Amino acid sequence: MIVPAIMPAKTMTVQEIADLVGGTVEGDASRRIEGIASVDSAGPSKLTFAADQKRAAQLAASQAGAAIVGKAPVAAAMPLIRVDNVQAAMAKLLGELAGSEDLPPAGVHPSAVVAPDAQIGPGVAIGPGAVVGARASIGAGGVLCAHACVGADAVVGEKTILFEGAVVRYGCVVGRRVRIGPNTVIGYDGFGYYTEHGVHHKIPHIGNVVIEDDVEFGACSCVDRGKFDSTRVGAGTKVDNLVQIAHNVQVGRGCILVGQCGIAGSARLGDYVVLGGGTGVRDNVTLGDGVQCAAHSAIAADVADGEVVAGTPAGPAKEVLRMLLASKKLPDLLKRVAQLQARLEALESSKDN
């Protein structure tokens, strides 16, 4: 079976790579590199990288042809490209190797459905099966991939991309340079019901969702519309796959929401909050600026600016770690307590006799 390449091969010298990423070369700058691989799998024609000391220590045993490293001392026989920020250098190099994304060309595909009164900016690309509703607006350079949908009166800003199957429902507002991954839904109803005589009745949601500039969503995430006002995601926030943001949630600028997070209704996240994978945030709580939550944390109360929390329910991460370490000693402690209790009972019985 022939396995196609993930991306076209592009050969570069170590010096050309260094010039591209703004680094300096130690060793043979003329060596040719034909791709990128991890430290443990790279062969003599591959470039690898060491973003931390753990990976840097593995370079001595690596077969890679060259490596991008930081400024710290590294023991390796291969040519090294020294940079200030390894992750930034790798991102720039990967962008060069990846080339253009597989996006539809500018224009409206014959199978797309665009309302006559929709406003379509210059250079917009609307792919196969995409739908643009009445009075909707797509800014210049926007892209709707196959089967993406923009509802009536929705606004999509300049150079924003809706990937395959992404949905921006009626009345929602999406800023500029936003990326919305496949099958992500912006603006479906919030999960709200009242119960009367044993029957759950739906509560209509008449608010919308506002996504500010430079936000990115992975695949299959959801942002619910507000019950009265707007659910909002702040500029520069990055949202992973399978994240749920409920009605009237306010997410600040520059936040990182990792996969399978769930944020319940009317919670407020400050700027640059980080939620590790699987974190749950209950309704109506506030997380201050710079809060960091370890994976699978359960946030049940407000968290002050800059706090690092973990656990269920979440508490200060250092205290939770101490409790976890202590819990490993519980079986021995219980055994010793039982032994001490037996000795005490024996002593009391002897005293009574």
Catalytic center residues: 247
In residues, how long is the chain?
353
- Give residue 248's identity as a one-letter amino acid code: N
- Helix %, strand %, coil % of the chain (to 5): 20, 30, 55
| Cross-strand pairs, 82 | 24, 69
How far apart, in whole angstroms, are the C-alpha atoms of residue 195 and residue 103? Answer: 46
- Sign of the alpha-carbon torsion through 242, 246, 248, 253: negative
Residue 160 sits at the vertex; the CA angle it makes with 158 and 164, to the nearest 5 degrees, is 145
Strands (DSSP E) along 234-343, which ranges? 238-239, 244-245, 250-251, 256-257, 262-263, 268-269, 274-275, 280-281, 286-287, 292-293, 298-299, 308-310, 315-316
CA distances in angstroms from 281 to 265, 273, 310, 316, listed in the order given: 9, 12, 12, 15
Q: To 10 degrees, the CA torsion angle through 172, 175, 179, 184?
A: -10
